[in-house]
């Protein structure tokens, strides 16, 4: 692989597909360290509900980025890249393999492809009276009109039907940033476990039933006792609104688990759609493959793609 930065590995896939286990297995085989790319697992206060890897799972494998943000505080792809860039560089400097694991598509694209941030952090203050300052949120037509007024050179290059891109371009234009300035990307090999839709759905349903238990309730109680409002916790990640409903008696445990499974399945389908558009992803194994076999094959793919020697070789 070419590029001015050393190559990294990215373990991707839909939720509940076994990304974390595969990444840990790869780190052991390739003498690597992990960088978490799941925005929810980055929240320091959350553990059970976001399936954050515990020390016993990691077994000594270093995982960066499990506490990079705080519950209820803004954290963007810009913030993630600002933390992940030096983490990856440090891993490479220690002559270890950097392995990104997860999860959040925008974060991964920003990190690996050199997303255009214009050298400005997202969400600068919205000027009073400008489009987007209303309490009901920005109107896309009004945002596009303001972008054409304050940044006409940018407006001609942005998909004006894509709200996220229009909002980001307008943030840059308001801040006086020079568009088109790109970070240096990280050359990467992307690997994922191949599962059928039926197998993935079964895994999601099983995980949802395990999730909705006393450990999650205890975590919810601890977070609420720490002063976090229930509405903030409910919006933190899939599972917490359902746990709060179960806790208050608004639904039973089985119903809460079923709600989690449905929401997670919908999210997983969105992730599968995104990944199908990524031609670089190497899909490994199938429904019947054991974890060790998938990890061994993934290590072979990574070694071949990165030109990395086998540990001990």
Q: What is the CATH number of the domain that holds 198?
A: 3.40.50.300
102 and 47 part of one domain: yes
276 CB neighbour count, 10 Å cutoff: 10
User: Is 311 within the bounds of a domain?
Assistant: no
| Amino acid 311: pLDDT | 43
What value does the mean pLDDT take over residues 205-232? 97
Q: How many domains does the chain have?
A: 2
Is 127 within the bounds of a domain?
yes
Q: What is the pLDDT of residue 262?
A: 97
- Which residue, among 224, 192, 4, has the nearest Cα to 100 in the 3D structure? 192
- Terminal CA-CA length for the chain: 21
Most confident of 148-162, 231-245, 294-308: 231-245
- Of the pLDDT bands very low, low, confident and very high (cuts 50, 70, 90), residue 121 is low
Q: What is the pLDDT of residue 115?
A: 64
Query: Which of 44, 39, 40, 45 is CA-nearest to residue 223?
Result: 45
> If DSSP codes are grouped into helix, strand and coil, which group holds residue 227?
coil
Cα–Cα distances in angstroms (integers) from residue 125 to residues 71, 99, 129, 172, in the given order: 21, 35, 12, 11
Both 103 and 191 in one domain: the answer is yes
Is residue 128 domain-shared with residue 215, that is, in the same domain? no
Q: Are residues 260 and 291 in the same domain?
A: yes
Do residues 19 and 11 make contact, with C-beta atoms less than 8 angstroms apart? yes
The H-assigned helical ranges of the chain are: 19-30, 55-58, 77-93, 105-113, 140-150, 152-155, 163-174, 197-211, 214-225, 230-234, 240-247, 253-276, 291-306
Is 164 among the domain residues? yes
Whether the full predicted model's pTM is greater than 0.85, yes or no, is: no
Which residues lie below 8 Å from residue 232, measured CB to CB, with a gap of 6+?
A: 71, 72
């Amino acid at each position: 692989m070419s590029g001015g930065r050393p190559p990294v590995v990215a373990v991707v896939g839909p939720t509940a597909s076994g990304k974390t286990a595969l990444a840990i297995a790869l780190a052991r085989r390739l003498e690597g360290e992990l960088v978490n790319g799941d925005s929810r697992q980055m929240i320091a206060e959350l553990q059970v509900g976001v399936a954050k890897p515990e020390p016993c799972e990691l077994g000594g494998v270093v995982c960066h980025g499990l506490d990079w943000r705080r519950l209820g505080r803004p954290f963007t792809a810009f913030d993630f890249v600002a933390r992940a860039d030096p983490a990856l560089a440090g891993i490479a400097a220690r002559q270890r393999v950097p392995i990104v694991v997860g999860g959040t598509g925008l974060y991964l694209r920003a990190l690996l492809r050199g997303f255009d941030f214009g050298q400005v952090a997202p969400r600068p203050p919205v000027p009073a009276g400008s489009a987007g300052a209303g309490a009901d949120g920005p109107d896309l037509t009004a945002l596009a009109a303001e972008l054409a007024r304050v940044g006409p050179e940018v407006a001609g290059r942005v998909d004006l039907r894509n709200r996220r891109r229009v909002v980001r371009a307008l943030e840059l234009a308001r801040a006086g940033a020079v568009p088109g300035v790109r970070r240096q990307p990280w050359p990467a090999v992307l690997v994922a476990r191949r599962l059928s839709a039926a197998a993935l759905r079964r895994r999601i349903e099983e995980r949802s039933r395990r999730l909705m238990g006393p450990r999650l309730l205890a975590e919810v109680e601890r977070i609420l006792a720490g002063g976090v409002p229930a509405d903030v916790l409910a919006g933190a990640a899939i599972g917490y609104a359902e746990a709060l409903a179960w806790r208050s008696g608004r639904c039973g445990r089985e119903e809460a688990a079923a709600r989690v499974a449905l929401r997670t399945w919908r999210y997983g389908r969105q992730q599968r759609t995104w990944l199908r558009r990524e031609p670089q992803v190497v899909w490994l194994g199938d429904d019947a493959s054991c974890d060790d076999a998938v990890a061994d094959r993934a290590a072979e793919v990574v070694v071949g793609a990165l030109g990395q020697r086998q540990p001990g070789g």
